[in-house]
């Protein structure tokens, strides 16, 4: 499902300015987007609540910067984070998710507004 560039531009209208700190950076490239993820926690932290996503639409150049966190499965106790599965970002009524398999999704409630798979460039 592709998101029209005009709709994408509307979603990207308001961006958050973030301070970049030490951490790791990875890039995911899809057909229409270049996504850069910066993790601002010390290496070795199991969870991180300080992650930045910059999404750039290749066709229009429109960009969006969001604050988020890492996503994990939960261990048997239901509390302890276990396996890393991706990143989670919220912006107004939308949720942006980026999986370790390279799938970028935009969700509105339980509806998928946009989804596109890509390749991690690291």
* Three-state secondary structure string covering 9-78: HHHCCCCCCCCCCCCEEEEEEECCEEEEEEECCCCCCCCCCCEEEEEEECCCCCEEEEEEEEEEEECCCC
Q: What is the pTM of this model?
A: 0.76
pLDDT score recorded for residue 43:
77
Is residue 86 very low, low, confident or very high in pLDDT (cuts 50, 70, 90)? very high
More confident residue, 2 or 120: 120
* For range 103-114, the mean pLDDT: 96
pLDDT score recorded for residue 23:
63
Residue 7 has pLDDT above 90, yes or no: no
Write out pLDDT tens, residues 13-68: 322 222 333 468 899 999 999 999 999 998 777 789 999 999 999 999 999 999 99
Residue 1 has pLDDT above 70, yes or no: no
Radius of gyration, alpha carbons of the chain? 14
What does the alpha-carbon distance between residue 23 and residue 40 come to, in Å, rounded to a whole number? 5
What does the alpha-carbon distance between residue 69 and residue 13 come to, in Å, rounded to a whole number? 22
């Amino acid at each position: 499902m592709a998101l029209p560039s005009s709709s994408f531009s509307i979603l990207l209208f308001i961006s958050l300015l973030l301070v970049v700190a030490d951490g790791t950076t990875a890039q995911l490239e899809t057909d229409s987007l270049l996504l850069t993820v910066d993790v601002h926690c010390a290496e070795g932290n199991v969870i991180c609540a300080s992650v930045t996503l910059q999404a750039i639409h290749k066709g229009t150049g429109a960009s969006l910067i969001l604050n988020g966190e890492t996503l994990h499965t939960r261990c048997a106790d239901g509390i302890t984070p276990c396996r890393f599965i991706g990143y989670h970002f919220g912006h107004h009524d939308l949720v942006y998710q980026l999986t370790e398999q390279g799938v970028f999704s935009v969700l509105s409630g339980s509806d998928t507004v946009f989804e596109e798979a890509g390749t991690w460039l690291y």
